[in-house]
Structure 1
Amino acid sequence: MMAGSLLSLALRNIVRQRARSLATLTAITIGVAGLILASGFVQDIFIQLGEAIIHSQTGHIQITRQGYSEGKNRAPEQYLIENPDRLKSAIMEAAPGIDTAMARLGFRGLLNNGRRDLGIIGEGVEPDAEAQMGTYLHFVAGRALKNSDQDGIVVGQGVARALGLKVGDRITLVMTLAEGAVNTLDFELVGIFQSFSKDFDARAVRIPLAAAKSLMDTPAAHLIVVMLEHTEDTAATAAALKQGFSGAGLEITTWNELSDFYEKTVDLYDRQFGVLRLIILLMVLLSVVNSVNMTLFERTREFGTMLALGDRSRTIFKLIMIESLCLGLFGATLGMAVGCGAALGISAIGIPMPPPPNANLGYTALIRIVPLEIAAAGMIGFIATLLATALPARRAARLEIVEALRHGV
């Protein structure tokens, strides 16, 4: 029998076996749509978590002196960038797609409210640039720093709770320089912020960069934070910066390399989604196997008749597999359409989510439509259908003519 005749016969058989075909199509569609929704949800977690880290802490790329990441806790004064403004200008010209570059000066010290002290990890920042970057910092009281705030300070919610601070309070920042001198500056609390990380908020303090330079008695900075127009350009921009500043004694680090929490979260969800894919694959396999077995059982005499009329076993096998191929293709296509439609509908409403582990803020989750994941889901549904059909089709092709004709008599 020619391939065109087999395809035509397979399509007629699918239409003739409406109930069984519909059951198989439903199983494939639900499985594929489920994979699309699950993968889109996980991708949204990755994207929103990454953007929260970028816009509240790290920026897209950080540029420091070589060895700063290992030595910043022991001797941070040895890793200062002496002329940060000149380096910022060079960075802006080194690669396309860079939105802004800003300097930060890190420090550790004690924050005193007049009654007790709290150890903090602080940063001197460029207020207006940081306010534009910090879209994921939520101010629960007060406001963000401005360039005009010469003695303004903002603290994490955990710091404010530990010291009983409120906006407008005067607080003193005390730190010890490498030479042993103790410097102090008084500040007015202008804002209390909340980021995605409780640990960060429990110790984080930010002051204007000029105040930090005065406090630490240096014109330098510890790092340059680079913000990009598009997060997906991070790797390419980092590579261009590494090439442009090779031999300059600088260390260029991307945001995901700076966040161990993000890497562990991605790894955890990747493993969980891998298990989910396996479960859905097994569900589709079992559903299709059951449907195909029932269909072939009911058609045993039909196959016996075909064998008696001279069709070969491989023709029957091909016919069943072509039917399965068509069902798999239809089901996968329908599943991709249903999955994308459901993703758009759910995203239009949003999914309110509680704060992730070790986080302060909840968020509204979406279902991301990722073309590669959609194609993978459709392929899984299609392949699962073919795998589920192969063994029953082989058994049907090996039927004895007499036994097949006597089936059900």
Structure 2
Amino acid sequence: MNTHRLTSFYAWLKFAWLNTLRNRRRSAVTISIAALGTAAILLAGGFALSTYTALAESSARGTGHLVVARAAQFGQDEDTPLQHGMEQVAELKAQLLADPAVRSVLPGVDFNGLISNGDKSTVMIAAGIDPDAEFAVKGPFLTLTGGQLITSDERGLVMLGEGLARSLKATPGSSLTLLVSTAEGALNALDVTVKGTFSTGVPDIDKRLVYTDLATAQKLLVTERVSRLGVFLARMDATDATQQRLQALLPGLKVRTWLDEAFFYRSVRELYNRIFGALGLIIGVIVVFVVTNAMAMAIIERTREIGTLRAMGTLPGQLVGSFALEGLVLGGLGTLVGALLALGISVALLVFPVAMPPPPGRSVGYPLIIEIAPSLYALTLIAMVSLAMLASALVARRTVHRPVVDALAHV
């Protein structure tokens, strides 16, 4: 029985294929439009996915896959620097590093204040870091534009964003003064030397950002506390499970994931989902209309043929199935060609890189990469073929159920 059904299916599929060859020009146009629509959906979706991946990696690299701090650090403003900071950092690091998924733990001190060259003062946003570990774990998260990177065994040295360095007319070797409020609310100043300048790719940040080593930051603020601990994992997909384990280990602290801190990532993803979702819907509707039009014209031309087949005993359901198979052939060939086209373009962009212009708010561009996601390809192909078959069946349904006499008399 199964063999008979399979043979019958192949026979009807061959019949549908031969019918699509009756008007090859119309079939070629339909397949071409379906192919272009499929390629557009896959390329747009692949671009969105690659953007999500890049932003996710950038966000996780900036803050750590997990961020450990006191709960007040995330939800309350500080009256004095490091009011909500953490103590006993060495013990906390040892506890965190004991988890098998944790690769590194980076302490950080965040503070604001003034920076002066003697003649001019301006507001700074500063961070005290462990430079050796920071640059080793995070990789090239900034571009050195002058001088050298600071190291963990040096004291009293800073790195300036190139916009800030330009504003203060500072170069490597220049002496500057940092003025901040200490953890006790008093004012404190410290003379430092510029060792390097850098760019983060965001001009507004480069106009304010200062990096120094952790010991210098704590000396300036007169405290041993840190603002937060950035926890870096061996794999991003281990974030949620590790977060749950560490939160249970440290009930007095708050453990948040990089996603909780990635406001820009969430905003871009929500925007792109809406834009490319609407684009995919529009393209899908266009392809359905094209297939529907092609099938409607074919059915009108073959009305008398349909009447003849009905008179010979062919059931309406068989004829509807036949036209649905024609939609399968047209939609299937179109989506297959479109998928191959999108795949070819995606691979070509890896071999021959294309640089995108800088996005709003940034000063550097980025390479155009189209992610090749098997799930996206499978979902798109299934959706496009299913819509083409459904459209063909719905168009054929009315004509197939016409009275035989009326169908035979159609001109």
- What CA distance in whole angstroms lies between the structure 1 residues aligned with 2:240 and 2:351? 31
> Aligned runs of 1:155-174 on 2, under 5 Å?
155-174=160-179
Contact kept, 8 Å, 1:331 with 1:381, in 2: the verdict is: no
Name the residue aligned to 1:382. Answer: 385
> Is 1:118 paired with 2:101?
no
Q: Which moved more, 1:178-187 or 1:32-41?
A: 178-187
CA pair 190-129 structure 1, distance change in 2 beyond 3 A: same
CA pair 228-198 structure 1, distance change in 2 beyond 3 A: farther
Contact kept, 8 Å, 1:289 with 1:389, in 2: the verdict is: yes
Name the residue aligned to 2:198. Answer: 193
> Is 1:70 paired with 2:75?
yes
Measure how far apart 1:72 and its partner are: 4.4
Name the residue aligned to 1:213. Answer: 218
- What CA distance in whole angstroms lies between the structure 2 residues aligned with 1:21 and 1:243? 62
Contact kept, 8 Å, 1:152 with 1:189, in 2: the verdict is: yes
Name the residue aligned to 2:111. Answer: 107
Give the aligned residue type for 1:24.
T
Contact kept, 8 Å, 2:80 with 2:185, in 1: the verdict is: no
- What CA distance in whole angstroms lies between the structure 1 residues aligned with 2:18 and 2:341? 21
Give the aligned residue type for 1:322.
L
Secondary structure at 2:82 match in 1: helix
Measure how far apart 1:330 and its partner are: 4.2
Name the residue aligned to 1:325. Answer: 328
- What CA distance in whole angstroms lies between the structure 1 residues aligned with 2:218 and 2:15? 80
What do the CA deviations read for 1:262-298 (whole angstroms, capped 9, x no partner)?
A: 2111111111011111111112111111211122222
- What CA distance in whole angstroms lies between the structure 2 residues aligned with 1:73 and 1:355? 35
Contact kept, 8 Å, 2:116 with 2:178, in 1: the verdict is: yes
Name the residue aligned to 2:60. Answer: 54
> Is 1:286 paired with 2:289?
yes
Contact kept, 8 Å, 2:357 with 2:366, in 1: the verdict is: yes
Contact kept, 8 Å, 1:28 with 1:385, in 2: the verdict is: no
Q: Which moved more, 1:347-356 or 1:333-342?
A: 333-342
CA pair 362-70 structure 1, distance change in 2 beyond 3 A: same
Q: How many residues are matched?
A: 404
Of 138, 141, 150 in structure 1, the residue corresponding to residue 143 of structure 2 is 138
Secondary structure at 2:103 match in 1: strand
Contact kept, 8 Å, 2:16 with 2:322, in 1: the verdict is: no
Of 126, 129, 132 in structure 2, the residue corresponding to residue 128 of structure 1 is 132
> Is 1:392 paired with 2:398?
no
> Aligned runs of 1:211-360 on 2, under 5 Å?
211-245=216-250, 247=251, 249-360=252-363
Contact kept, 8 Å, 2:67 with 2:231, in 1: the verdict is: yes
Q: Which moved more, 1:291-300 or 1:21-30?
A: 21-30
Name the residue aligned to 1:175. Answer: 180
Q: Which runs of 5+ in 1 are unaligned?
A: none
Of 40, 43, 46 in structure 2, the residue corresponding to residue 40 of structure 1 is 46
Contact kept, 8 Å, 1:105 with 1:125, in 2: the verdict is: yes
Measure how far apart 1:101 and its partner are: 0.8
- What CA distance in whole angstroms lies between the structure 1 residues aligned with 2:245 and 2:339? 38
Secondary structure at 1:119 match in 2: strand
Measure how far apart 1:77 and its partner are: 2.8
Measure how far apart 1:154 and its partner are: 0.7
- What CA distance in whole angstroms lies between the structure 1 residues aligned with 2:145 and 2:92? 35
Measure how far apart 1:25 and its partner are: 3.1
Contact kept, 8 Å, 2:16 with 2:329, in 1: the verdict is: no
Contact kept, 8 Å, 1:104 with 1:221, in 2: the verdict is: yes
- What CA distance in whole angstroms lies between the structure 1 residues aligned with 2:400 and 2:9? 15
Give the aligned residue type for 2:289.
L
Q: Which moved more, 1:14-23 or 1:257-266?
A: 14-23
Q: Which moved more, 1:255-264 or 1:207-216?
A: 255-264
What do the CA deviations read for 1:200-244 (whole angstroms, capped 9, x no partner)?
A: 323211101111111111222111111223333333322332233
Measure how far apart 1:147 and its partner are: 1.9
CA pair 365-229 structure 1, distance change in 2 beyond 3 A: farther
What do the CA deviations read for 1:185-206 (whole angstroms, capped 9, x no partner)?
A: 1111112221143333232111
CA pair 358-53 structure 1, distance change in 2 beyond 3 A: farther
Of 61, 85, 88 in structure 2, the residue corresponding to residue 80 of structure 1 is 85
Secondary structure at 2:83 match in 1: helix
Contact kept, 8 Å, 2:80 with 2:181, in 1: the verdict is: no
> Is 1:12 paired with 2:18?
no
- What CA distance in whole angstroms lies between the structure 2 residues aligned with 1:25 and 1:201? 51
TM-score by length of 1: 0.92
TM-score by length of 2: 0.91
Q: Which runs of 5+ in 2 are unaligned?
A: none
Measure how far apart 1:137 and its partner are: 0.8
Contact kept, 8 Å, 2:30 with 2:291, in 1: the verdict is: yes
Contact kept, 8 Å, 2:83 with 2:183, in 1: the verdict is: no
Contact kept, 8 Å, 2:60 with 2:258, in 1: the verdict is: yes
CA pair 155-72 structure 1, distance change in 2 beyond 3 A: farther
CA pair 373-298 structure 1, distance change in 2 beyond 3 A: same
Contact kept, 8 Å, 2:159 with 2:194, in 1: the verdict is: yes
